[in-house]
Amino acid sequence: MASAVAVSSAKRSLRAELKQRLRAMSAEERLRQSRLLAQKVMAHSQYQKSRRISIFLSMQDEVETKEIIQDIFRRGKTCFIPRYQIQSSHMDMVKLASPEEISSLPRTSWNIHQPGEDEVREEALSTGGLDLIFMPGLGFDRHGNRLGRGRGYYDAYLKRCLEQQDVRPYTMALAFREQICLQVPVDENDMKVDEVLYEEPSV
């Protein structure tokens, strides 16, 4: 097992490389892959049978989730979105009333829409948990290892799910091809994802 120092420095350099790769992508290419992934999600049996779904609101360098969010509501599923506490690694998944509501939510310092911290919203774990969690991240490998942005929000939240839910939620990462790595360095706090969706290269 690599030392903690080695892992954290490997993560740092991989994060820098991935950020550079993502910056090099054109807006058209990001949109093209996002659309393709939205189609993959909608055809996915795990998605179709899930009733309570948590999904992230995309930052500029992430797969665009707008189409998936609209589909969640179209199919009458319940949608939860992250509410991060910027000053800590605590995150809740709070209920979204409609896709239209997103644009009116306040923006965080990372320029992501999210409900204000003082606003009372239903939290997923207090009302029955989640069936499916869409995971953001900077990089992924084919074994389900995930490189986040270093704050540990999702790892901590997944641990809470395991403590508070009877059935573990299915975790699905949405990734651009550019985010797929040969191997992502991990430590014992990193939670694997069940499946990484990305555009397979055509043979």
Binding site feature residues for substrate: 57, 62
Q: Binding site residues, as ranges? A: 11-15, 57, 62, 146-154
Residues 117, 103: Cα–Cα separation, whole Å: 17
Residues 179, 118: Cα–Cα separation, whole Å: 35
Q: Are 144 and 194 in contact (CB under 8 A)?
A: yes
Residues 164, 191: Cα–Cα separation, whole Å: 16
In one-letter notation, the amino acid at residue 109 is S
Residues for the chain: how many in total? 203
Q: Binding site residues for ATP, as ranges? A: 11-15, 146-154
Residues 197, 199: Cα–Cα separation, whole Å: 7
Helix axes 66-74, 27-42, angle to 10 degrees: 30
